[in-house]
Chains A and B, each alone.
Chain A
Amino acid sequence: MDDLYRDYILEHYRRPHNFGVLEHANASHEGANPLCGDRITLQLRLADGKIAAVGFTGRGCAISQASASLLTDEIKGKPVVDAAALTSQDVLDLLGIDISPARLKCALLSLETLQRALAEAGTGARMEAQV
């Protein structure tokens, strides 16, 4: 049963990392999954080609919120080019659980939102998280 809702997934859902409004953000995007009402606003502070700070707010299912928590941990302090190069598989690996096709959009909402935020900030990120 709990191969999906593992303890660390639920822990990230209940107490998401990097959750909150980021001061002095210079890149952001609001992503939504209209099918289930998941919603994530991702904010980034980019400096010297790096992601100096990251924060997100939103509400949604455990998978979408845990994914945002794990992804923001992953990109914090990283070069923008590395964050922009993250693939759908990278995010699924971060989650470490089997995601059924019906839940892929939940799992990848955070990545799609990140890619849009970076693209809108003009960093040339690829739009990869298309499901």
Chain B
Amino acid sequence: MTITARPDASGNPPGTGAPEGGSPAGPAATADPRIRDGCLVPEVIRAEFPILATATSTGKPLVYLDSASTSQKPQAVIDALDTYYREYNANVHRGIYEIGERSTAAYEAARVKVARFINAPDAHEIVFTRNATEAINLVAYAWGRQSIGRGDVIVLTEMEHHANLVPWQLLVQERDGDLEFIPITDDGILRLDVFEVLLRLRPKLVAFTHVSNTLGTINPVAEMTRMAHEAGALVLIDGAQAVPHVPVDVGAIDADFYVFSGHKMLAPTGSGALWARRELLESMPPFLAGGEMIREVHLRRSEWNEIPWKFEAGTPDIAAEIGLGAAADYLRTLGMGRVRDHERELLEYALPALAAAHPDLALYGPMDPAIRGGVVPFNVPGVHPHDVAQVLDRSGVAVRAGHHCTMPLHERLDLPATARASFNVYTTRTDIDALIAGIAEVKRVFGV
């Protein structure tokens, strides 16, 4: 089976290098109102996200600052789901009839869009998964069980999301291997000097996050990959917080495995992908077994399908992956360089504004916006983050409170929990002003 993409005439966006984004709608290249002077105009972009026009039950407009948890969805993605279910809902790679062929073409076109979005050289190297967590579990199971043996070392970091920690714990428990961790500095930057020392253990794999979901730290992934390769290790990068926010070029990073979730990058829940080098995918046994992943099945043995379908057992979440393709197109039109610039500018606005309005506020993570994504963890002294989030909710401001699936990182920083505000393409300075006002209300209620 081969992957064919439909021609780009139906909606291929202009390249991100163009100073002005063109309209995706057709040949009449009118100026895109979402981009002005090379910058995103979030006030215009917001109008494409129906949920942001809704009000909370208290009548306040929704100020959504929890995009690191999951992003909101633009009309283009909602339409992709709607059109699939209304017009061509059919299983993929099976139906010898019109809508079956259409669903297969759209599903495989989404794979090409995703490959292009992260600059993967070959769309066959994109395995669709439910999310980043499933992609990491796939690698830990299929690659890990045949590659990790007694005493083998896997190097992780202290800032990993549980998704890039627990699968490796299970693997080394089963295979009698060992985990080592790259420590962080107090402001949340990886200690590459210690990494260098850990590499002398000749690890089989180094797995780390591209962007920290809790602190926002953007790690030097290309440099770390080069260091790991020089020591003979393979590299897995958790890109769940990177792909939605910074330009990602898996070819340039040169890692071996790169995973991400769709739902954090404006796509539906249940979509996501693993990118891996073709020869690695071909050398790995299947993860889940069943239909679709086989070429031939006999009662006592089977032969596997080609990659990537070898790793996509059962009917996939067809609509969600088609929606992921639509989200990739949407972000390509905006331009990931502009997305990154937008979130960096918000950070450059938010950090000093929060500190000025609330000098007692505890802010965590690197204070240099050049190495930080749009993630702002904080604490109001004397108020538990859950109470902070609860009072903010009354102002319509949605933030995350808790440990954000990074309990070891919170332990390292000696924090039981934090509140976290996080940005996306639709986040405005007005949202940040609402957060600042909301924190004042928290302090009023708690008398601190």
Contact = CB atoms under 8 A, between A and B. Distances in A.
B135 to A, nearest CB: 25
B52 to A, nearest CB: 22
Interface residues of A, number: 19
A29 interface: no
B247 to A, nearest CB: 34
Contacts of A5: 387, 390-391, 445-446
B445 to A, nearest CB: 5
A104 interface: no
Interface string A4-36: 110000100010000000000000000000111
Secondary structure of the B contact surface, majority rule: helix
A39 B446 contact: no
A36 B386 contact: yes
A1 B410 CA distance: 30
B417 interface: yes
A41 to B, nearest CB: 14
B416 A62 contact: no
A109 to B, nearest CB: 12
A36 B390 contact: no
Contacts, number: 49
B394 interface: yes
A93 interface: no
B416 A4 contact: no
B384 interface: yes
Given A4-B390, A5-B387, A37 B445 contact: no
Contacts of B410: 37
A36 B417 contact: yes
Interface string B431-448: 000000000010001110
B387 A61 contact: yes
Interface string B408-446: 001000001100000000000000000000000100011
Contacts of A126: none
Contacts of A37: 402-403, 410, 416-417
Given A37-B403, A37-B416, A1 B394 contact: yes
Contacts of A2: 445
A119 to B, nearest CB: 26
Contacts of B402: 35-37
Q: Contact size class for B?
A: 10 to 19
Contact of B446 (A1, A10, A63, A106): A10
A104 B326 CA distance: 39
A37 B447 CA distance: 23
A60 B390 contact: no
Given A2-B445, A5-B445, A106 B416 contact: no
Given A1-B394, A103-B390, A36 B385 contact: yes
B412 to A, nearest CB: 14
Contact of B445 (A1, A59, A106): A1
Interface string A103-131: 10010000000000000000000000000
Given A2-B445, A106-B386, A59 B416 contact: yes
